[in-house]
Structure 1
Amino acid sequence: MNFPIIHTNFWDAVIAIPIIMIITQLIKIIYHTPSKFVPTIALFFGLLISIFISHRHDLLAGIFMGWFYGYAAVGNYAALKSAFISYRNSGK
């Protein structure tokens, strides 16, 4: 079995991940979505962006990279939130 050749570039990650973070936060604010559903929403939008925009000619590559886009957005949000909380509490 041959693995797919996945061509991605720097701009996919620089654009896709922040867009997913923004979309998930907007959905959370507008629809009052519980936090436990946010990773699933991020994964969904990561798959949509990857399959239909970034890797529209290769479904397997789109699914593979969409998984990374979605969970990279979740990880970045968690890291930013932890850093912000740590910074805010360091002054006390």
Structure 2
Amino acid sequence: MTEFPIIHTNIWDAVWAIPVIMILVIVLKVLLPISSKHIPVSATIIGMIISIFISHPHNLSAGIFMGFFYSAAAIGTFASLKTTLKAYRS
């Protein structure tokens, strides 16, 4: 039986990764005609790239695991801000 991998992460990885993912998704949305249903996919891809190559470059399983968390947090924050702005405008 194999043990679960030990994932060492730093809070600062999440603090800078989530806004970077959100900004890059907004830039992609402005530059390319991306539909709303493809925004979570693009955020997941960006989160994976940041996590695997920058935050956890020597541990692939930790990079994949944390990439999903970074992208999910960015998607949730993006959706929350969008809903808040819609409610504020009406």
Range into which the TM-score falls when normalised by the shorter chain? over 0.9
Q: How is 1:64-75 mapped onto 2 (pairs within 5 angstroms)?
A: 64-75=65-76
Partner in structure 2 of residue 76 of structure 1: 77
Partner in structure 1 of residue 20 of structure 2: 19
Q: Find the aligned partners of 1:86 and 1:38 in 2 and give their Cα distance.
A: 21
Structure 2, gaps ≥5 residues long: none
Partner in structure 1 of residue 42 of structure 2: 41
Structure 1, gaps ≥5 residues long: none
Deviations 1:29-66 (A, max 9, x none): 10121111110000001000000000001000000000
The CA deviation at 1:17 is 0.5
Q: Percent identity?
A: 54
Q: Find the aligned partners of 2:87 and 2:9 in 1 and give their Cα distance.
A: 34
User: How many corresponding residue pairs?
Assistant: 89
Q: Find the aligned partners of 2:32 and 2:53 in 1 and give their Cα distance.
A: 25
Q: Which runs of 4+ in 1 moved over 6 A?
A: none
Partner in structure 1 of residue 29 of structure 2: 28
Q: Find the aligned partners of 1:85 and 1:2 in 2 and give their Cα distance.
A: 46
Q: Find the aligned partners of 1:88 and 1:47 in 2 and give their Cα distance.
A: 34
The CA deviation at 1:86 is 1.7
Q: Find the aligned partners of 1:42 and 1:50 in 2 and give their Cα distance.
A: 12
Cα RMSD between the aligned structures? Answer: 0.9
